[in-house]
Amino acid sequence: MDFYNNVGKMALGSRLRRLSDQITEDAGQVYKMYNVSLQPKWFPVFHALSQGQDKTITAIAEEIGHSHPSVSTIIREMVKQGIVVEKKDKLDGRKTVVALSKKGKEVVNAIAPQYLDVTNAIEEALSQTRHDLWKAIEEWEFLLNQKSLLRRVQEQKKLRESRDVQIVDYTPAYQQAFRELNEQWISKYFKMEAADHKALDNPQKSIIDKGGYILVALYNNEPVGVCALLKMDDPVYEYELAKMAVSPTVQGKSIGWLLGKAAVDKARSLGAKKLYLESNTILEPAINLYHKLGFQKVIGHATPYERCNIQMELVIK
């Protein structure tokens, strides 16, 4: 136990597996003690069939929460040992159903005293603990059904890595990164257009000197993401969110979200009431990000880009 105490909660799976192995080993001995010809891993399938109704493998899998291949493997093992039989469904001859054999039905009667003694033994053990393991397992199963452990770890990874991200104002030192990051994604999906060259060749002149802003995302002090606020000469929109690009090497670290949020915050600080953007629906992750930021689809605005097939706006609150 010192190992698990030293390693801590990150060894949860290993510790649960160790406990499961210990209980499973004891369960095997318990079956032998009561002369019941079952293996511990068969129990859920056996119990599902012990109610007397023939069932398909799919129905059993859904009832006990196991995968179809897992149940199929167990059924084959139980058929081999003569515990269950497979037969055609009386109502639908195309379906195969599973039922307890004569030997399996004998096990139902023989196992009753074991059920009673095992239940009482577990109740006794639970009464000697400060924490109810049964209720704790129920709670964990509920939580992990809502959000898996994998998803929770992914979120923590993003959170930790996002702490290493800084959003800074553009300086001429980032001109090359601004151009290369944008050229990378544009050339991958589309072609560079005149409006791209104008913005990327001289961002100081074409964006900043005209009242716009450029934000740069640094990860471990390296520029890995950029976006711009273009000052618009428009009666409705004061700024356009544009030229957002994140290096593929750092995707999955919420850098796009951090850049977008910083741009919205910047526009808000400048007194903007609405923010405009143009994109293409082929860029599904980007569209999802814009929706997450609160942008909604609009139509009817003139665009200099051939690739634009969706226009969106954000009402800044």
Q: How far is CA 33 from the centre of its chain?
A: 44
Closest C-alpha among 220, 267, 219 to residue 246: 219
pLDDT band at 1 (very low <50, low <70, confident <90, very high): low
- Tell me 204's DSSP state: I
Residue ranges per structural domain of the chain = 2-154, 163-315
**pLDDT exceeding 70 applies to what percent of the chain?**
99
pLDDT digits over 195-250, tens only? Answer: 999 999 999 999 999 999 999 999 989 999 999 999 999 989 999 999 999 999 99
- Say how many CA atoms lie within 13 Å of 179 toward its Cβ: 14
Q: How does pLDDT run across 103-150, given as a tens digit for each residue?
A: 999 999 999 999 999 999 999 999 999 999 999 999 999 999 999 999
Q: How far apart are CA 78 and CA 65, in angstroms?
A: 19
Could you tell me the end-to-end alpha-carbon distance of the chain, in angstroms, rounded to an integer? 54
Residue with tokens 């560079």: 192
pLDDT category at 64 given cuts 50, 70, 90 is very high
Instruction: Encode pLDDT of 10-24 as tens digits.
Output: 899 999 999 999 999
Fold of 2-154: Arc Repressor Mutant, subunit A (1.10.10)
Predicted TM-score (pTM) of the model is 0.65
Please state the rounded mean pLDDT for residues 71-95. Answer: 89
Which amino acid is it at 103? K
Distances (CA, A) of 211 to 43, 160, 216, 230, 276: 71, 34, 17, 7, 16
CATH superfamily for 163-315 is Gcn5-related N-acetyltransferase (GNAT) (3.40.630.30)
Phi and psi torsions of 202, nearest 5°: -145, 75
Answer positive or negative: Cα dihedral of 50, 54, 57, 63. Answer: negative
